[in-house]
Amino acid sequence: MLGRLNHVAIAVPDIAAASALYRDTLGATVTAPQQLPEHGVTVVFIDVGNTKIELLEPVGEASSIAGFLAKNPAGGMHHVCYEVDDILAARDRLKAAGARVLGDGEPKIGAHGKPVLFLHPKDFQGTLVELEQA
Ligand code: CO
């Protein structure tokens, strides 16, 4: 069921500053910022060859990233995203195994225009897990 690592996401308080750090200091290519109101974030992606880094900045007070940054003001690793072939089959299998799917349990369209789901960090060793249909 589990496919390749699509990205590692890092929550940041200032996406312009974080993008400049990756571009200018680390020499990476950073995509243009993309606002995802449904997810309460602005994102950029950095392709590092074998996977991507996603930088997340909160949009709006209700953003889950805002809560994360309140506890981690400098930013920090927020989630890992794995690819799956069939997101509904993956969801049903995980639910049957007792894992909790966040939100209403229905996939939303993520930053790559593909369906995504998030799994409760308490069910995955304290790590928020995103699944994306490849
Ligand atoms: Co993500």
Q: Which amino acids are annotated catalytic? A: 130
Task: Please give the pLDDT value at position 121.
Answer: 96
SS3 content of the chain, % helix, strand, coil (to 5): 25, 35, 40
Of 16, 57, 12, the residue nearest 39 (C-alpha): 57
d(CA 54, CA 46): 6
- Residues with Cβ–ion distance below 5 A, ligand 1: 9, 54, 81, 130
Q: Which domain holds residue 92?
A: 2-133
Distances (CA, A) of 60 to 64, 75, 76, 123: 9, 17, 19, 27
Average pLDDT over the chain, rounded to an integer: 95
Higher pLDDT, 60 or 82: 82
Confidence of residue 8 (pLDDT cuts 50, 70, 90): very high
Q: 23-37, 58-72, 83-97: which has the minimum mean pLDDT?
A: 58-72
Please tell me the predicted confidence (pLDDT) of residue 86: 97
CATH code at 84? Answer: 3.10.180.10
**C-alpha 43 to ligand 1 mean position (Å):** 9
In whole angstroms, give the CA distance from residue 132 to residue 55.
Answer: 17
pTM of the complete model: 0.93
Q: What is the pLDDT of residue 63?
A: 85
DSSP 8-state secondary structure symbol assigned to residue 106? S
| Span from the CA of 27 to the centroid of ligand 1 (angstroms) | 22
Number of domains in the chain: 1
